[in-house]
Amino acid sequence: MGDQVSKLKQLSSSDMEEQRFFQNQNQDYVDQAGSGSGSEERANEPLDEEGKVSASFQKKVQSKIKDLLQQMEEGLKTADPHDFSTYTGWTGIALLYLQLHRCSQESSHLQRALDYVKRTLRILNGRKVSFLCGDAGPLAVGAVVHHKLRNTEESQDCLNRLVLLQSSVLSDSDLSDELLYGRAGFLFALLYVNREMGEHTVEESTITQVVSAILDSGKSLSQDQKKTERCPLLYEWHRKQYLGAAHGLTGIFYMLLQVTPGLQVTPGLQGTPDLQGTPDLQGTPDLQVTPDLQVTPDLQGTPDLQGTPDLQVTPGLRVTPGLRVTPDLRVTPDLQVTPDLQGTPDLQGTPDLRVTPGLRVTPGLRVTPGLRVTPDLRVTPDLQPGARVPADVLSEFVRPSIDYVRHKKFRSGNFPSSLSNESDRLVQWCHGAPGEEKYLKEASDCSEVIWQRGFLRKGYGLCHGTAGNGFIFLSLYRRTKERKHLFRACKFAEWCLDYGTHGCRIPDRPYSLFEGMAGTVYFLSELENPEASCFPAFEL
């Protein structure tokens, strides 16, 4: 009897899986390394021979975007007039038009975004504070749209109202921490404004207080659940400890890591948390620094290139007295210095100091006397001086908690929707593999299950649809530049080009950003410049 029940459960589970996604019938990417075969080139369509999205496929995508936009605008005439949210309402449509303006630079798209912003700002209710489902989204998007249109007064008004929400974010003990409705969602709104309008538009102290509230909440629940050693930061929504991006741990952890942008360097550059040295910052052969390092106009120097307290390198990076550059420094053309840089013509250092792609120095990074840079130094994202999330907090709380989530992975590469759920069912952004994106190997494993089970019967949307699953491949391509990931993203886009023909479920808000057609258009638009793609309201 027990065996029969077990078989019935397996059959039921198999049937359920069949109902949740379509079998992927696509041939996977063919590695053409060392081969000149034209058949392999054709197999990798819609990529061209250089590994970029082909012009013919781009043309199809742009044509479909225009078609879907027309359908969307017509459908929105009957949408809920009071839904101002980013998730299913007017702010999401404004965000889509902001994206289209970013891609095309067409002023009409920016004006359309403004039309929807004006509509949303008239109907805010103050009941929720997140970017996706609360007032923070309309106010943040409103501030950005007005900023781009140079409506300074209106932009500042939106910004002031956004920051005022912080008091309830900090004081409301019943407020959740997750992305969709909670503190992480408010945190994203602040970070989004800083990305679009300038690094210090929202003061660092404001952001730090929100981060502290999220950390304190996570520590408290972990202690209550007696999981401090295994998972130092623990969060729940409606008394359930979810793991996914929308309601769960990965969404919160991901947002905490966004507060500490990754300091990326080229392979081979290694280092430890206890970076120590002598007062002289000394370069050695083969030290590689990337072109993203920019020097501000106030950088001044004497013939001996002595650092003073006013030596400025990117917003917030201060180099204190004692900085010396040794003879024979050679800098490649990728290093750009602004017009006001003053000094002698003989800027010299150690042999073969090369500036190469990959290093980003983030605001707030301070280099003090005693730092010695040696060959093969790699500074990792969670060990940054001057970060808003201190290195010890990242190493003692955030990182172990992420590892705890990693160990919940199924053999398939997918993740459960919550700690109490052992079912390997959901493969979508809000629950499952697409929300887990910390370590590159783990992300790659997640992408395999998404490639197999990511064409969803729920529809084409972002939250629980095929377009949302397609973003994982754009994220991986952006980080690795591996053609396979771009190819797979294009195959998910190709599926979306046949919008409405697969017999998928029709969502409740069929034209919205996160459930419907607007999200599909957003995903398709990212193929124009996949190197700069971002999942809306999540990635920065």
For tokens 């952006």, the residue is 478
Q: Is 464 annotated as a binding residue?
A: yes
143 to 83, 117, 197, 266, 520: CA distances (angstroms): 19, 9, 9, 36, 25
Q: Indicate if the alpha-carbon torsion angle 10, 12, 15, 19 is positive or negative.
A: negative
Cα 368 from Cα 370, distance rounded (Å): 6
Which tokens go with 184?
Answer: 């992480």
Q: Token pair for residue 221? A: 């629940």
Q: Is the dihedral of CA 505, 506, 509, 515 positive or negative?
A: positive
Please identify which residue in the block is written with the tokens 């017999």: 503
What is the CB neighbour count within 10 angstroms for residue 355? 19
Q: How many residues does the chain have?
A: 540
Q: What is the DSSP string of 18-39?
A: HHHB----PPPP---TT---HH
431 is in an annotated binding site: no
Token look-up 């520590």 returns: 219
Using DSSP's 3-state secondary structure scheme, residue 119 falls into helix
158 appears as a binding residue in the annotation: no
Helix (H, G, I), strand (E, B) or coil at 366: strand
Convert 381-433 into a string of H (helix), E (strand) and C (coil): CCCCCCCCCCHHHHHHHHHHHHHHHHCCCCCCCCCCCECCCCCCCCCCCCCCH
Q: CA neighbours within 13 Å on the CB side: how many for 111?
A: 3
At how many degrees (to 10) do helices 55-75 and 517-525 cross? 160
State the Cα–Cα distance between residues 499 and 520, nearest whole angstrom: 9
Residue with tokens 């602004």: 338
DSSP labels, 292-343: T--B-TT-B--TT----TT-EETTTEEE-TT----S-----TT--B-TT-B-
Residues 264 and 290 sit within 8 Å (Cβ to Cβ)? yes
Collapsing DSSP to helix, strand or coil, 242 comes out as strand
Binding-site positions for Zn(2+): 430, 463-464
Q: Which residues are annotated as a binding site?
A: 430, 463-464
